[in-house]
Amino acid sequence: MASSDSATSPADHKRPRGLAPFLRSQMRNIAPFLTLIFLSGFFAIASPSFATIDNLGNILTQVSVTGIIAVGLTFVILCAEIDLSIASIANVTGIAVAYFTLQESYVNIANIPMPGFAAILLALALCALLGLVNALGLTIIGIPSFIMTLAMMQIAAGVSALLVRGQIAYKVPPLITTLGSGSIGGIPWIVIVAAVMLLGGHLVLTYTRFGRYVYMVGGNREAAEFAGLNVKLILGSVMVISAVCSGIGGMLGVAHFGSAQQNEFDTYLLDSIAAVVVGGTSLFGGRGGIGNTIVGLFVLGVLNNGLDHVNIDSFLKILIRGLILLAALVINVYAQRLREQAAE
């Protein structure tokens, strides 16, 4: 009779044994933490003004708009899809809320001016509609998300151009002004909003049935369909969520920057994708989450802020950001290969 010590199951043979296999299996999660620690230590040594409480507040404020947009993008990437229209939707929503606010002086019902919340609701309805178009193109027509959202990027840019017509708008509803540029107890409201949205996204993905469905669809779409999930509904939902998060980020961003103008959010496309991917969420879907996105936001925030504290060529700064994103992509792909090898 074989002893109990020698009896092993097939799962035991696949389970990583030892420190090295464990580190390889967790590379996607460990690498961003190590990068964050290294960058923080380097800039703290290179610049005395970096490692201060005030500068930490600056970093949090600087990544807030990106964080709000990245919440929705995390849902999309977890489903193994992509949304290239997030920056354009953020821009058109920010312009729209300023545009509708401007119409308060001209649109009256029984001589009562349109209230500020109506402008907010109309702007949110616009970004939700654009997200719904993305969803329908992906799920009903069958256009790949890369192509569909690339087209939406141009459509949203066109709507922005029609609304702003080369001008700059400054007036937004008081609520948006407060949340975008105000503070409470020394803490900017925009940081609080970003934290609340990141927490909300984490709770949805971790503790709700919809969150489990997102991971199932991203992990194995065919298995999710066999399990009876409405995969198209889930994919469509995450596209709308991404658009709404982008719209909220766009509205608050306009208030934070002090104006609404065309192409104001162009850089946020790369920043948001980088935050999600650098943090360790898998481009292949089913792995990662809001926690990874938060780490990615801090990596980008520390990098951008730290480079401003040291004497580095501004063009070199762009190169460094690109190299870090490339490294994150390499780790992402390599981690996926290790996962596939472990499953064989």
Type of residue found at 230: N
Residue 315 has a pLDDT of 76
* DSSP notation for 115-126: PHHHHHHHHHHH
pLDDT tens for each residue of the chain, 344 residues long: 444 443 333 344 444 555 656 556 566 677 788 888 888 998 899 888 888 899 999 999 999 999 999 999 999 999 999 999 999 999 999 999 988 887 654 554 444 445 678 889 999 999 999 999 999 999 999 999 999 999 999 999 999 999 888 788 778 889 999 999 999 988 999 999 999 999 999 999 999 999 999 999 999 999 999 999 999 999 999 999 999 999 999 999 999 998 888 888 988 999 999 999 888 898 888 888 999 999 999 999 998 898 888 877 777 878 887 887 787 778 767 776 766 665 55
Residue 99 has a pLDDT of 87
Residue 1 has a pLDDT of 42
Residue 104 has a pLDDT of 56
Type of residue found at 94: G
pTM above 0.85, yes or no: yes
In the chain, where are the structural domains located? 53-336
* DSSP notation for 26-59: THHHHHHHHHHHHHHHHHHHH-TTTSSHHHHHHH
Give me the half-sphere count of Cα atoms (radius 13 Å) on the Cβ side of residue 22: 3
Residues whose CB falls within 8 Å of the CB of residue 74, separated by 6 or more in sequence, listed in order: 201, 205, 276, 281, 288, 289, 290, 292, 293
Residue 26 has a pLDDT of 67
- CA gap 283, 300 in Å, rounded: 18
Fold of 53-336: ABC transporter involved in vitamin B12 uptake, BtuC (1.10.3470)
Residue 234 has a pLDDT of 96
Reading the block at residue 324, the tokens are 């870090």
Type of residue found at 31: A
CA 222 to chain centre: 26
- CA gap 68, 77 in Å, rounded: 15
Strand, coil or helix: 183 = strand
Which DSSP symbol is given to 114? P
Gap between the terminal Cα atoms of the chain = 30
Q: Where are the alpha helices (DSSP H) in the chain?
A: 10-14, 19-25, 27-46, 53-62, 64-78, 86-102, 116-136, 145-164, 174-181, 189-207, 209-219, 221-226, 231-257, 268-278, 290-309, 314-343
Backbone angles phi, psi at 108, to 5 degrees: -130, 140
Residue 9 has a pLDDT of 37
Reading the block at residue 74, the tokens are 């995390």
Nearest 5 degrees, angle CA 193-CA 269-CA 34? 75
* CA quadruple 182, 187, 191, 193: dihedral sign: negative
Of 319, 327, 279, 316, residue with least CA distance to 300: 279
Residue 112 has a pLDDT of 47
